[in-house]
Amino acid sequence: MSIQKFVDYLRLEKNYSEKTIESYQNDLNGFVVFYLREHSTHEIACADKTDIRNFLMHLSRSGLSGRSINRKISSLKTYYKYLIKVGEIEKSPAAMVSSLKHNNKVRIPFSEDEILNLFKLPGIFSDDFEGNRNQMILELLYQTGIRRAELIGLRLSDVDLVEKRLKVIGKRNKERLIPINDELNEHLNSYIEERNTLFGNELDNLFLTKRGKALYDKFVYNLVNNYLSIVSTKTNKSPHIMRHSFATHLLNRGANLNAIKELLGHSSLAATQVYTHSGIEQLKEVFNKAHPRSDKN
């Protein structure tokens, strides 16, 4: 069974994004290389549990992080489940392989004051297309909580200035609508007018470089990191922390967790609950003020 058939299954039946499919391919190709060296064949459908464990030991010795190894375990499990589904094998050699335990890094969101300074301090954004575009990118990341890939994938046609909402294509090509407030809607309108004047409609991408090309992951990461370095000394200044801050600030101000889940595009509430630890101080404050058995009552 070729990996290509599995890839076609992910693309056509599971409707996974190209980036996700690429990750699966890389993980499986890595195992193919290892298995070929051990058995002089690339038919990993014949692998057993020992082969899987030896591969994971090889990855660990090579210095790969626990998180990355766990992703490869997940890819192998998914692949062998597919082989069972199509009748290629009867039992998965990865079925009883457990993920590695690792400590989750605590993500510290930006405070509301830090975010306020980002948009209110004079002179942060230059008064030209690049400055306006950069401000628009940061505002969208914080005010909508969209992922970096979702922002890069935004098209002009995804912006509805009349209904004041964005259409976002998330993981597994799942579509969701995100409302935007009047101020953000006005900023978007001004940006789009300037963008179209400079570059026209040849490319439908909402955000472009100064040369009129589509943005890419590293571009957005560096942009966010550079601007946040002006207002914060926190170590992690990635686009994902903007998303984390969006969710945390909503939670702190009383937003329903299910509503935050929908805005973020999470498939389950468990994925959203990672943000609840950030609001624990606010929850303590509510408890102390309201509960009859608290120390302050």
Given 147, 237, 244, 249, the catalytic residue: 147
243 is catalytic: yes
pLDDT digits (tens, 9 = 90+) for 161-173: 999 999 999 887 8
CB 262 within 8 A of CB 247: no
Given 11, 171, 176, 234, the catalytic residue: 171
Given 243, 244, 249, 261, the catalytic residue: 243
Domains of the chain: 3-85 (1.10.150), 112-286 (1.10.443.10)
275 is catalytic: yes
Q: Give the separation between CA 95 and CA 74, rounded to whole angstroms.
A: 10
147 is catalytic: yes
pLDDT digits (tens, 9 = 90+) for 125-174: 999 999 999 999 999 999 999 999 999 999 999 999 999 999 999 887 88
Given 237, 244, 261, 266, the catalytic residue: 266
Residue 211: CB atoms within 10 A of its CB come to 6
Q: Give the separation between CA 166 and CA 184, rounded to whole angstroms.
A: 11
Q: Determine if the pTM surpasses 0.85.
A: no
Longest dimension (CA), the chain: 73
For residue 208, give both structure tokens.
């472009």
171 is catalytic: yes
- Please name the amino acid found at residue 273: Q
